[in-house]
Amino acid sequence: MARSFVVVGLAATALVAPTMLASAPSSASVATPAVSHAAASHAAVSHATNSPVASRPDAVTLRPQADLPTPVAARLPVRAEPDGTRVSLDISFYGQPDGARHPLVLLAHGFGGTKDSVAGQAAELQQRGYVVATWSARGQGNSGGRIHLDDPNYEVNDAEVLVDLAAKRPDVELDGPGDPRFGVMGGSYGGALGLMLAGVDPRVDAVVSAITWNDLAQAFFPQSALAAPPKTAAGRDPIDVAGPFKQVWASTFFLSARGAGGGAGAGTGASIAPPPGATAPGATTAPARAATTTTTAATTAASCGRFDRALCRLFLKASDSGVASPELLTLLRAHSPKPSLSRVKAPTLLIQGIADSLFGLDQADATAAALDADGTPYAVRWSDGGHDAPSTHEAEETEASYAWLDHYVRDKAPRDSALPTAKFTFPIAATRAGQPSTLHALPAYPGLSGTTLQTQGVGFTQRQGGLVHPPGGLPASIIAVPGLAALGISLSTYQLAALPGQSTAFDTEPLTQARTVVGSPTMTMTITSDTPDVTLFGSVWRVTGSSITLANPLVAPLRLKVTPGQPTPVTLSLPGATYDLPSGSRLRVLLTSTESTFSNTREPGQIAVRAGGTLTLPVSQVDGAAAGTSGAPLVDTEVVLAASALGALLLLALGGFLVRRRLRRLLPSRPDLADIPLVVEGLVKTYSDGHRAVDDVSWRAEKGQVVGLLGPNGAGKTTTMRMVMGLISSDAGSVHVLGEPVSAGSAVLARVGALIEGPGFLPHLTGRANLEAYWAATGRAPEEAHFDEALDVAALGGAVDRPMKSYSHGMKQRLGIAQAMLGLPELLILDEPTNGLDPPQIAAMRPILRRYAETGRTVVVSSHMLAEVEMTCTHVVVMHAGRVVTQGLVADLVDSDDTTILDLPEDADAALVRDGVHALERHDGIHEVRVDTGSRLVVVGELSRVAVVQAAVAAGLPVVGVSSRRHLEEVFLGVISSASAIPGGEPDDENHSLVERLRQVRAR
Amino acid sequence: MTDQQRTGSSDDVIGHGDERKAGHASGEALLEVLGSADQHNASASDPIVQVRAPLSWRAELRRQWGRRRTLWAFGLLLALPLILVASFAFGDRNGNPNRANPSSRIFDLAQSGAANFSLVLVFLASELLLILLAALFCGDAVPSEASWSSLRYLLIAPVRRARLLTSKLIIGVASTLFATFLLPVWGLIVGGIAYGWDPLTNPLGDNLSWSQFLPRLALAMAYIFVTLLPIAAIAFWLGVRSDAPLGAVGGAVLVSIVFNILDQLDALEPYRHAFPGHYGRSWQDALAVSPDYSGMLHGSLWALVWTAAFTMLAYRRFRRVDILS
């Protein structure tokens, strides 16, 4: 179950890995190996793939490949197995072709991996100028033999043989005969190998050892009960009782050594499955021999896969009993760097993960303490990754590793030179999930290099607690779920951890000042139990409001031999981590009797716990400046991208603004037209649908004129007016008001008042407020407006203070006219002003307009109420189909010398009239006689009016009135029909004109 | 005015008749003024000056303030806390707090004091209500004028087109800003009266005192305001393009929903950071004990990019469009 968590965890972190815009390629390279490798080798080997310095197989493809030779594979015969089986390793050398000698790096892989898992890193080191040796460890990959878990006699000895071989290469730099200049680097399984190699082989010049163990016995049977209070940040000096068995991890090891079925073996050949051809002798004999022994041995052989038989048997026994046998403990201690650390002289970089339930911070702490005691140069770097989760600073950790090698191997820096990296670097998790942690550096590891560990005590609010151990060890609390942290799950798992009755919790007082915890908190307590063997699991939680979250998803197991009923004092070292504690925050220590990743005893028990006074926190002074690299710098790629996009947009806006201002100034004014209120010249407007609404229209309105703009619907009157006001742009031509060109929003429009296509008012304001709002929009002084006088024109009475919504159409129309007159503009443009007005109102409007013009101002009225225009206007412009058909004085248009209108009495005899008309038509000098109505004749001819009247009377027509005037309507219809006339039959023409007019109506 | 004394809601025709009886022709007064104005006008043809600030902010504010939609919007904003208080009271009577749901913890805490209540209010409103208001205030300003036909009268007043947009935009944005800050302040007042003046019991981290909480809240609201700007700008642009007031508002909200949906897609990973709304909840970072400003910084910058882009599009469009409304 835990294993599947690991898989999920890795896949998920690959997805949520912090990918910023520009860093996408590099983060992909971080994430992909974790996924692909985990998938390929079934993720049981996650401790290998997660290593901060672990493999990056596809990094090769991401870098421009220099002209370096491809790795050369070879077989290296090494020490035979205990049963005499001959063993050869599958090795590769990444050589240097330039003929010079280069320093060497031994690159060791993690458990369950092969030499291919480190191929990417090997290529990187090769490009850095190293000769790189990689090999599949004994029992792994295509190498022969069995897994001895870094046995000094086998795996470590193999590495020595490899060094001997490398010393013979012509491209490897030598310190002396058979002594190459080299460093050894690896994570987890490979990390311990490096430390152990340095412990037995003085030729090693530098070690980079990541997420590995100091004491394998302590790793698999962790004991957090302390023999002495810690002197270092994560120091854990355990009592001499083996802790509970870390069952889940042990099983994971075994499963990966078995090859995890066919899936992995077929795909990569990375782990186990059928031994390949080269190792055929050893591999085939072993099962054969196993088969001949007892049935239990056969089971063992099947379960052990490629594990060494002796080692395997001990592990299976421990799995069965949950208790460590002395033989196993001895063996595990021997397979650890711890015994040989005093002989390590090579400068060593230790990288250890906080998110590591397999090899905790205490392991690296113990190694560092041993190196410090012997004066060996070392640096410690804590990572927020580990076997449980990927690091958020993998690139920095790899870079620090390379810098370490460069410094001590390539550059041959003396041992007392300054370290190439800070002596202690640690991360503090970001406040939000998915963000990289911030890195901080200290000049010394707390408690080492002559410093003393700083601590802060926080009192517990309650001291007494009790819990039971369930019979059968179930249900088990779930606290340290490997991989859960990697999922970025922030929800509280407290309910799963603190099973009722099986746990007890001790809360601290709130912190009085903010602190940064760096390392393992400790607490003392007294335990009383009714069984001689007590196991407890401690974990640290943060209590904020009602939410309780794990400070670090790890447990610290404690196993004690006690006298039943007798209180036993003990000091517990809680899981190590780094976190900020703001002032006022509380911690909670949770003690549970079971934990799901451990082998829990089946015997029931009852335990009483009395906590000591305080929780002791290892603290550190952290100021932001201490860190060379900040985890989340305020200015990152995304900020740069967004800021530059914003800057570009603003520049564009500024540029556009300047260009437009320049263009606006270029419009010329026409001083010669300064005295003419309105001049329209050659206006053309074609709408986007292709309809040419206005086509070369030119006219002008002089001072004192009332100009009528006439035309049928769709003639282009309104379009012209909109262009005059700058509401729509013209395709060609110009409009000048008082000599100034008109474009959108021209200042000269302040001299113009207009009512165009009906009034427009804010419905929520009153009539008066609307006029005031409009005037306020002009930005001119209120006293220029003459509100009262304009409202008087509108004649709204009391309605002026009612909201607009209640107004009738006519009232709005009159208010619209009043609005146009605000400020007494020199040019008043009214589009259909009589719309919605009743006859008395129209009559009242007539003198106003005329007298308005008489003051030297100008009025332009568009209308199709011809009688109205005739009575109001002095001048008229007739438009049809977008063109000006005729224009001039109204008097000129309606007056006509060649036309005489004869009025007949209403009751005139029809026959008499008909005869008279015929007679008139035959008269010389008369071209046409038209019967307009029964009582009205229009006579056109070149005769004088007197002669016409005489002729009519002579023809017997009963003339009662004579006039010279036509009505404007006749003129209008006459010009319209002649303008739209097309040569051809009369009916056709009429049809055509109808169609034409319909089209125009549609278009506008 | 001779007809001021007239009472009743008679319509215009009768009013006109009254005038007739009074022997006063409408427009007489104007003509008198014309006559007198003539003297000073006829002689000097005044130089044509550009009025410095047509459609001043105050003028635009007056145009928008009395509108029913403005009153409704603010009414809703002010009613929301009261509705919440009433709802919580209702829930208490039934005694059915659903504590199993972690998100309901925030709502449980709402009744613990003014600060928590205000925070819950912001939490609820920032998801939709404030977005809607921003779209309304900025998207409705231009098309509502167009729909009243008053847009053309503003333009021939004359108000330069850019000036008109600027005034509309500034008042729209200012209304949004006012609403954004009114909400938590009103929430504090209502919450304080209803539940007491306790400082923040933080559902997102550690508790904050009043002196810590108030500046953080102001910062969070400022950030929320900035994240509203892209929606406001998109609404504004749509409003300039269309004459339908609600079309602009609805369009902008639709755009924000579409971006929200796209933001869910992991396939768009680095690119979705730039979407408006991607950092929409980063204001909560400001309330953490050690606030993390990087999300807010990113969010603000992207918001400003969108705002600038759509505002520029709106100006560009309006500068050259034919006003046919």
Each residue's pLDDT tens digit, A180-237: 999 999 999 999 999 999 999 999 999 999 999 999 999 999 999 999 999 999 999 9
Examine the domain organization and report whether A850 and A912 are in the same domain: no
End-to-end CA distance of chain B: 34
State residue B222's pLDDT score: 95
State residue A338's pLDDT score: 93
In contact, A477 and A523? CB cutoff 8 Å: no
Q: Above 50 in pLDDT, residue B10?
A: no
Here the CATH number for the domain that contains residue A773 is: 3.40.50.300
Q: Sorting pLDDT into bands at 50, 70 and 90, what band is A523?
A: very high
In contact, A759 and A813? CB cutoff 8 Å: yes
Signed CA dihedral, A330, A336, A337, A338: sign only: negative
Examine the domain organization and report whether A814 and A831 are in the same domain: yes
Tell me, yes or no, whether A750 lies in a domain.
yes
SS3 B184: helix
CA distance B178 to chain A (A): 22
Sequence ranges of the domains in chain B? 54-320
Query: Which residue among A810, A819, A856 places its CB closest to the CB of B38?
Result: A856
Q: Above 60 in pLDDT, residue A20?
A: no
Examine the domain organization and report whether A504 and A587 are in the same domain: yes
Q: Sorting pLDDT into bands at 50, 70 and 90, what band is A483?
A: low
Tell me, yes or no, whether A658 lies in a domain.
no
Task: Write the CA distances from A339 to A195, A196, A202, A324, A366, integer angstroms.
Answer: 11, 9, 15, 20, 12
Closest residue in A to B38 (Cα–Cα): A855
Q: Sorting pLDDT into bands at 50, 70 and 90, what band is B14?
A: very low
In tens, the pLDDT along A931-949 reads 877 778 888 877 788 888 8
Query: Which residue among A674, A793, A810 places its CB closest to the CB of B30?
Result: A793
In tens, the pLDDT along A901-924 reads 888 888 878 888 888 888 888 888
- Among B24-38, B120-134, B208-222, B237-251, name the one with the lowest average pLDDT: B24-38
Which of A855, A857, A858, A1004 to mutate against chain B (most B CBs within 10 Å)?
A855
Q: Above 90 in pLDDT, residue A348?
A: yes
Q: Sorting pLDDT into bands at 50, 70 and 90, what band is B15?
A: very low
> For chain B, what is the mean pLDDT?
81
**In terms of residue numbers, what domain contains A542?**
455-626
Tell me, yes or no, whether A569 lies in a domain.
yes
The last residue of a domain, from among A414, A442, A470: A442
Beta strands in A837-964 (DSSP E): 858-863, 875-880, 883-889, 899-903, 926-933, 936-941, 961-963
- Among A545-549, A650-654, B198-202, name the one with the lowest average pLDDT: A545-549
Closest residue in A to B315 (Cα–Cα): A653
Tell me, yes or no, whether A326 lies in a domain.
no
Beta strands in chain B (DSSP E): none
The last residue of a domain, from among A591, A626, A661: A626
Mean pLDDT, range A471-481, rounded to an integer: 83
In tens, the pLDDT along A227-279 reads 999 999 999 999 999 999 998 888 888 887 765 433 333 333 333 333 333 33
Total domains, chain A: 4
CA distance B180 to chain A (A): 24
Q: How many other C-beta atoms lie within 10 A of the C-beta of residue A33?
A: 24
Polymer length in residues for chain A: 1004
- Among A341-350, A986-995, B178-187, B221-230, name the one with the lowest average pLDDT: A986-995
Examine the domain organization and report whether A488 and A523 are in the same domain: yes
Q: Above 50 in pLDDT, residue A495?
A: yes
In tens, the pLDDT along B256-273 reads 999 999 998 888 888 888
In tens, the pLDDT along A394-441 reads 889 999 999 999 999 999 999 888 899 999 999 988 766 566 788 888
Examine the domain organization and report whether A884 and A909 are in the same domain: no
Q: Please answer yes or no on whether B322 and A751 come within 8 Å at the CB atom.
A: no
Q: In chain B, which residues have their Cβ closer than 8 Å to the Cβ of A852?
A: 30-31, 34
Residue type present at position A479: I
Tell me, yes or no, whether A188 lies in a domain.
yes
Tell me, yes or no, whether A285 lies in a domain.
no
Examine the domain organization and report whether A701 and A769 are in the same domain: yes
Q: Above 60 in pLDDT, residue A632?
A: no
- DSSP 8-class letter at B284: G
Residue type present at position A283: A
Residue type present at position A424: F
Here the CATH number for the domain that contains residue A399 is: 3.40.50.1820
Q: Above 70 in pLDDT, residue A281?
A: no
Single pTM value for the model? 0.65
Examine the domain organization and report whether A488 and A567 are in the same domain: yes
Q: Please answer yes or no on whether B67 and A491 come within 8 Å at the CB atom.
A: no
Tell me, yes or no, whether A665 lies in a domain.
no
CA angle A105, A108, A111 (to 5 degrees): 170
Here the CATH number for the domain that contains residue A978 is: 3.30.70.100
Q: What percent of chain A has pLDDT over 70?
A: 82
Examine the domain organization and report whether A873 and A993 are in the same domain: no
- DSSP 8-class letter at A100: S
> For chain A, what is the mean pLDDT?
81
Q: In chain B, which residues have their Cβ closer than 8 Å to the Cβ of A799?
A: 12, 15
SS3 A330: helix
Beta-bridge mates of residue A186 = A108, A209
Q: In chain A, which residues have their Cβ closer than 8 Å to the Cβ of B322?
A: 722, 727-729
Q: What is the DSSP string of A604-668?
A: -EEEEEEEEEEEEEEB----GGG-SS-SS-SS-HHHHHHHHHHHHHHHHHHHHHHHHHHHHHTSP
Q: Please answer yes or no on whether A20 and B324 come within 8 Å at the CB atom.
A: no
Q: Above 60 in pLDDT, residue B113?
A: yes
Q: Above 50 in pLDDT, residue B241?
A: yes
State residue A34's pLDDT score: 35
Kindly report whether the peptide bond that precedes residue A475 is cis, defined as omega within 30 degrees of 0: yes
More confident residue, A268 or A607: A607
State residue A264's pLDDT score: 33
Q: Please answer yes or no on whether B26 and A793 come within 8 Å at the CB atom.
A: yes
State residue A633's pLDDT score: 57
Tell me, yes or no, whether A248 lies in a domain.
no
CA distance B9 to chain A (A): 8
In contact, A354 and A384? CB cutoff 8 Å: yes
More confident residue, A517 or B5: A517
In contact, A631 and A439? CB cutoff 8 Å: yes
Examine the domain organization and report whether A870 and A915 are in the same domain: no
Q: Above 90 in pLDDT, residue B107?
A: no
Q: In chain B, which residues have their Cβ closer than 8 Å to the Cβ of A727?
A: 152, 155-156, 322-323
Q: Above 90 in pLDDT, residue B239?
A: yes
Q: Sorting pLDDT into bands at 50, 70 and 90, what band is A350?
A: very high
- Among A379-383, A622-626, B6-10, B215-219, name the one with the lowest average pLDDT: B6-10
CA distance B301 to chain A (A): 6
Mean pLDDT, range A617-635, rounded to an integer: 58
CA distance A619 to chain B (A): 18
Tokens of A842: 């129209």
Examine the domain organization and report whether A585 and A608 are in the same domain: yes
State residue A486's pLDDT score: 52
Instruction: Name B76's Cβ contacts closer than 8 Å, sequence gap at least 6.
Output: B129
More confident residue, B301 or A66: B301
Tokens of B304: 């400003």
CA angle B52, B66, B77 (to 5 degrees): 115
Here the CATH number for the domain that contains residue A467 is: 2.60.120.260
Q: Sorting pLDDT into bands at 50, 70 and 90, what band is B102?
A: very low
The last residue of a domain, from among A626, A652, A681: A626
Q: Please answer yes or no on whether A431 and B28 come within 8 Å at the CB atom.
A: no
Examine the domain organization and report whether A882 and A899 are in the same domain: no
Mean pLDDT, range A358-368, rounded to an integer: 93
Examine the domain organization and report whether A782 and A902 are in the same domain: no
Q: In chain A, which residues have their Cβ closer than 8 Å to the Cβ of B158?
A: 726, 745-747, 749-750, 778
Closest residue in A to B149 (Cα–Cα): A760
Tokens of B90: 């209702």
Kindly report whether the peptide bond that precedes residue B245 is cis, defined as omega within 30 degrees of 0: no
